[in-house]
Structures are given as C-alpha cells and as structure tokens.
Amino acid sequence: MTELSIQYLVSGGVITNYNCPSRCGHCLYNCGPHRSKDYLDADTAKDIFRCIADLGCRSVHIGGGEPLLDVEKLLEVLEVADNIGVAIDYVETNSSWFKDQHHAASLLNRLLAVGVDTLLVSISPFHNAHIPYSRVQGVLDACQSSGMQVFPWKSDFIPDIRAMDENQTHSMADFEKAFGPNYLQSTLERYWIHLGGRALTTMAHAYPLYSVEEIMEKSPANCANSLADTSHFHIDLYGKYIPGLCAGLVIDMNDLGRPLSPGKYPLLEQLTAGGINELHNLASNEFGFSPQKKDYLNHCELCTEIRCFLINDSKLQFRELNPGGFYAEFAR
Ligand code: SF4
Ligand code: SF4
C-alpha cells in the first residue's frame, strides 16, 4: 500500500484568512466576502512557522484570502515568522484596501519595518471583475515611492485592463466584448490557473468535458505524486496543511514528518493508493454516491464532487475534509 508521508517542505505559503472582498472566478480556495472572518492568531502562527522550519523550509509567502484585511494581525504574524527565523518571500494582495497614497505608503512602511520587502500584486481580468484597476495602480505607485519591491502577477494584463475604464470593474463578458469572444480562452494561455476550487465551475465551458467512465480511464493511476508535492504547499490559519494543490483536503500539521495513519485519513489513503478510481469506488460502494453531472472537466472535479457529497452527509465525519466554507460553495 502506497503511504502518504510529508517529510520535508520545499516552497510554499501560509494562508492567514479565507475572507476576501473579491470572489474571483479562478480562486482555488473559494475565497470571498462570504467566508469566515477568522484570521491567523499569533500562537497558531508560532506553531506553523516552527513546523515549517522543522521540515526544512526557511522562507514562505503570505497569502489568503486577502492578508491585508487585518493589518494589525498580519504584522503580528510577520513578527512571529521573524522571531522563528522563517523569511517572508512576499505578501500577496489584491489591492482592495487602497484608499490614497498617504495611507498606502504608511501601511507599506510598516511592512518594510518587519522585514517584508516584496508585495505580490494581483493583476488579471479575474481580479478586475471585483477591484477597479485604479486601486491596483495606487498600490503600485505607493510601492515605488516607499521602496517596496513588486511582484506583479501578471503585468502582461495591464494594457488590456487599462484599455477600459480604470475606475470601474469589468466582467469577463466585458473583456470578451472588448477583445473578442475567445478572451477567456486566451487568458488561460497567458496565466497559470490550477483547475480546482472555483475554477472548476468558471472554466467548465473553456475546456473539453469527459464522462465519468472517460475520467476513470484517463486519470493517473493514483494521486500520490500530486498529494506529496511540496513545491507549492500551503498551511492555513487553522494549522491545516493542504496537500499539493488539492484544496479542501487537509492534514493536521502535527501529523507531518511521518506516514499518515490510514485510520485518521481514509480518503487520503485511497487517493494516494488508487486515485480517483479508488475514491469513486469507496464513495459509491460504501456511501451511495452517484455522479450529479453527465460530464466533468477532470478527475479533480469529480474528486471535489465526491468530497462534497461526503461532507454533506451528517452521519459521516472525515476530518481530512476541511474547511467547511470551501465546500459550502458547491452545496447541492
Ligand atoms: S484569487 Fe485572491 S483576490 Fe481572488 S477571491 Fe481568491 S483570494 Fe481573493
Ligand atoms: S483527484 Fe483529488 S486528490 Fe487527486 S489530484 Fe485531484 S484533487 Fe488532488
């Protein structure tokens, strides 16, 4: 039996919160204004950064949700990281908080003072559906004046976005009207999007779909490599480690560094050993799952639907399915 064991962490981030003023169509973690306002506290942050350092990783990024929704708590988290010796690669932001240059510069100076020297600024048509570009430009200007480095993700989209009213938000339909009906398709070629979370719904019409039988046939024999991949790991504000990019699946961070107990993580055990086929067999044979759709984008969409079914059955309790707010998005 293949075992899942996370022995070391290569590169990743800490999710401070799932709440976000935006609700982007590609968001892997289903973040948005409807999500809990919980924010990573200093004690949990201490445990998380110790765990990260113990597993060999010396620097992480900070992401969300929108981390800058609570600046005081973010600063506490950053101080904890500094005390433990984990460096911050960058803090992600969608710029929703921008009011004016004075306010932005003073906020950035506070980040600089605790050792943050780079801000990842989100720039994409998906983000522009919720945040006018004028705020993003305001943050870019404030970074320049305060000496904060910018990691623009991605500046390639700036000309498209600026071609429209910078003080307004624009839907994908607006972009398609301005740049042609294939704009979503072309966006996918210019931007890295992982097909999980909300992207499963948003991208459904941009890709070919497959029947359950086809999915079972063409999917990898198991998910061991995806689940064990620590090259872009995340640990969230509840101290839960998200294996690979499999949003909605979690491992208690205290269980990292040794093989997972199959009794505690039965779904991860099945996925590690036999991928979507094993999960589907288990869910169908043991719990009465039947697919709700005719066709699916990929095995991860079917996996998400099965997990949704399992978490919504009040008689079942899988602690590896978390947080509940992720699954509420797909409630059926
Ligand atoms: S992608 Fe980022 S900005 Fe968009 S909803 Fe998710 S966390 Fe918020
Ligand atoms: S099928 Fe599930 S476990 Fe496998 S890679 Fe996709 S989301 Fe992860």
Do 107 and 148 share a structural domain? yes
CATH number at residue 173: 3.20.20.70
Is residue 7 domain-resident?
no
> Does residue 208 lie within any of the structural domains?
no
- 237 belongs to a structural domain: yes
The DSSP call for residue 175 is H
Instruction: Using the atom order of ligand 1, give the atom closest to the CA of residue 65.
Output: 7
Q: Dmax of the chain from CA atoms?
A: 61
Q: What is the pLDDT of residue 246?
A: 98
Query: Is the distance from the beta carbon of residue 64 to the nearest atom of ligand 1 less than 6 Å?
Result: yes
Residue type at position 268: L
Residue 317 maps to a domain: yes
Does the residue 252 lie in any domain? Answer: yes
In order along the chain (332 residues), what is the average pLDDT of each group of 10 residues? 88 98 97 97 98 98 98 98 98 98 98 97 98 98 98 96 98 97 90 93 90 95 97 98 98 97 95 97 96 95 97 90 94 60
Atom of ligand 1 nearest to the CA of 92: 2
* Residue-level pLDDT at 1: 53
Task: Provide the whole-model pTM.
Answer: 0.96
How many structural domains are present in the chain?
Answer: 2
Residue of 195, 276, 320 to test ligand 2 pocket, by largest number of atoms within 8 Å of CB: 276
Query: Do 245 and 275 share a structural domain?
Result: yes
Last residue within a domain, chosen from 130, 158, 192: 192
Query: Is the separation of the CB atoms in 95 and 135 below 8 Å?
Result: yes
* pLDDT value at residue 148: 98
| Confidence (pLDDT) at 309 | 96
155 and 224 share one domain:
no
Residue 45: domain span: 12-192
What is the spatial distance between Cα 33 and Cα 31, in angstroms, rounded to a whole number? 7
Cα angle 26, 151, 143 (rounded to 5 degrees) comes to 120
249, 297, 303, best to mutate for ligand 2 pocket (most atoms within 8 Å of CB): 303
Same domain as 153, residue 55: yes
Whole-number pLDDT of residue 2? 64
271 lines ligand 2 (CB under 6 A): yes
**CA 170–ligand 2 middle distance (angstroms):** 32
Q: 218, 225, 227: which to mutate for ligand 2, most atoms within 8 A of CB?
A: 227
Q: Is 325 in the pocket of ligand 1 (CB under 6 A)?
A: no
Q: Is residue 235 part of a domain?
A: yes
